[in-house]
A and B are shown apart, each in its own frame.
Chain A
């Protein structure tokens, strides 16, 4: 609908909306994160929820200790190869719609521990990440900005059509394979469906 007409009607005291806007407003205003922290970024995540930064202003103060009730997974910290299967399994156990924020250099790429034999080089190798936050660790303001970016992303999602999100597509993938520890690395080393292997890495990783 025409934005100008909507604003004009609003001035007259008539509130006009669409099902899509209402639906997305409801979803973005009550994104419940899952309560789990992996490393130092978790400390910043805790600070974000506290009174000084107050994530509650955006409707996300309810950290749930169970993936059944959570909408948002904040991967806050280094994902070791020992921990990665658990993180992917928890993501699988979350109910749709679900979102992921990869917080900090480690979660998005392995960060300063990238060369470590035991560190996963980014959680986006296994699960689809909605927002990446750089920083080591990112300040609470950065997490807030990532959260606002996620809300904007939710706001723009259409309910029908080819552009609709995964959870509204009955045929779309719902389960992401949980990697298992192999002899040398996690197997598989990445989920090709969510993380296309860069060309430079094709030669034996």
Chain B
């Protein structure tokens, strides 16, 4: 095994793993045996700038936020791809141009769907 071509890689991998986990383990041991913990309800409570926190930290976000995600994706991803598309437009082959248009149309479809759903109207 020691003559295998990947043996040095294994050694390096184990060394890298030890380099990362060693200090973590030492810190854990230090905390377990030497650190002076004085836990109390105030210390263990949720940190809220000195105020007593209200409610739970694990709040649920409304699933209705998916609309924002879709709109964000439409404009953000489209902007990222439209600029190189426009720059290289004159040199593109017909196939590349078609592929790009299909991509843009897919995203515009999301916009059209949101528009039809009335998301863009401020109520």
Interface of A toward B, CB cutoff 8 Å: 66-68, 85-87, 89-90, 92-97, 167-168, 170, 172, 174-175, 178
- Complex Cα distance, B50 from A170, in Å, reads 25
Q: Is A167 in contact with B38, judged by CB distance below 8 angstroms?
A: yes
Q: Is B42 in contact with A93, judged by CB distance below 8 angstroms?
A: yes
Q: How many of B's residues come within 8 Å of A, CB to CB?
A: 15
Q: Which of B30-87 contact A (CB under 8 A)?
A: 35-43, 45, 47, 49-52
Q: Which residues of chain B are near A174, meaning CB under 8 Å? A: 38-40, 43
Q: Which residues of chain A are near B35, meaning CB under 8 Å? A: 96
A203, chain B: closest CB distance, angstroms: 33
**Given known contacts A97-B36, A167-B36, is B42 in contact with A86 (CB within 8 Å)?**
no
- Complex Cα distance, B53 from A86, in Å, reads 12
Interface of B toward A, CB cutoff 8 Å: 35-43, 45, 47, 49-52
B46, chain A: closest CB distance, angstroms: 10
Q: Which residues of chain A are near B39, meaning CB under 8 Å? A: 174
Across the interface, B37 reaches (CB within 8 A) one of A67, A93, A96, namely: A96
- Complex Cα distance, B52 from A92, in Å, reads 12
Across the interface, A90 reaches (CB within 8 A) one of B36, B37, B50, namely: B50
Q: Is B47 in contact with A92, judged by CB distance below 8 angstroms?
A: no
Q: Which residues of chain B are near A89, meaning CB under 8 Å? A: 42, 50-52
A-B residue pair count with CB separations less than 8 angstroms: 44
Q: Which residues of chain B are near A90, meaning CB under 8 Å? A: 49-50
26 A-B pairs within 8 Å (CB atoms) are namely: A85-B50, A86-B49, A86-B51, A87-B50, A89-B42, A89-B51, A92-B40, A92-B42, A92-B43, A93-B43, A93-B47, A93-B50, A94-B43, A95-B43, A96-B35, A96-B36, A96-B37, A96-B38, A97-B36, A168-B36, A172-B38, A174-B39, A174-B40, A175-B38, A175-B40, A175-B42
- Complex Cα distance, B37 from A97, in Å, reads 9
Nearest neighbor of A177 in chain B, beta-carbon distance: B42
B35, B38, B39 interface centre (most CB from chain A within 10 Å): B38
A84, chain B: closest CB distance, angstroms: 10
- Complex Cα distance, B36 from A170, in Å, reads 8
Q: Which residues of chain B are near A87, meaning CB under 8 Å? A: 50
B41, chain A: closest CB distance, angstroms: 8
Known: A85-B50, A86-B51. 13 other contacts (CB 8 A): A86-B49, A92-B40, A93-B47, A94-B43, A95-B43, A96-B36, A96-B37, A168-B36, A170-B36, A174-B43, A175-B41, A175-B42, A178-B42
B36, B49, B51, B52 interface centre (most CB from chain A within 10 Å): B36
Q: Which residues of chain A are near B49, meaning CB under 8 Å? A: 86, 90
Q: Which residues of chain A are near B42, meaning CB under 8 Å? A: 89, 92-93, 175, 178
B29, chain A: closest CB distance, angstroms: 16
